[in-house]
Amino acid sequence: MLGQRRPRRAATGCGFLVEILFRCPKPGWRSWRAALLAEPEGPDGKTFQYRHPVSGGMWVSQVWKSESAITDSFVVRPPSDVRPGSYRLRWSLIDAESGRIWPAGREKSTVGGVELGRLEIRDDAPVGVAGLDWDSRLSWTPLMPSDRSRSQGQDIG
């Protein structure tokens, strides 16, 4: 992954925009879908996942070329019963045929992907889709070598 852009907080009951910039993992022979996993940091939260075609289908994975830079832009719409709190975000690609998660997952793995950081879902955040009005403080955040990529897969098959 080359970078990300997303808000740090979103209002309860509202969506938020996420943009991921990444290099093509394997050219043109797989059908990839993207996923964002949000895991609560406290006991009262609820894990939710948002699976989607990369950039709403604008980037058809079967024609990706090796080393192409690809952007996945999407609005996450959390379930209505998600409670306020801190959530750790993780983004990944999922091979639609094998279930393998990229990066660093195994076949039919439930763990893999890149940690994006924390999102605060709050009752006092501005209402509306968070992240649509980028300000000068919010720019592409390059990933550093210290950023973690999960590599321990857990088979579910």
Helices (H) and strands (E) in the chain, counts: 0, 10
Per-residue pLDDT tens for 111-142? 678 889 999 999 999 888 887 665 545 455 55
Structure tokens that stand for 31 in this block: 């059908």
For the chain, the structural domain boundaries read 3-128
Please provide the CATH number assigned to the domain covering 3-128: 2.60.40.770
CB 127 within 8 A of CB 11: yes
pTM for this entry: 0.76
CA R_g for the chain: 15
Per-residue pLDDT tens for 23-78? 876 666 678 889 999 999 988 888 999 999 988 888 777 777 777 888 899 999 99
What three-state secondary structure class fits 55?
Answer: helix
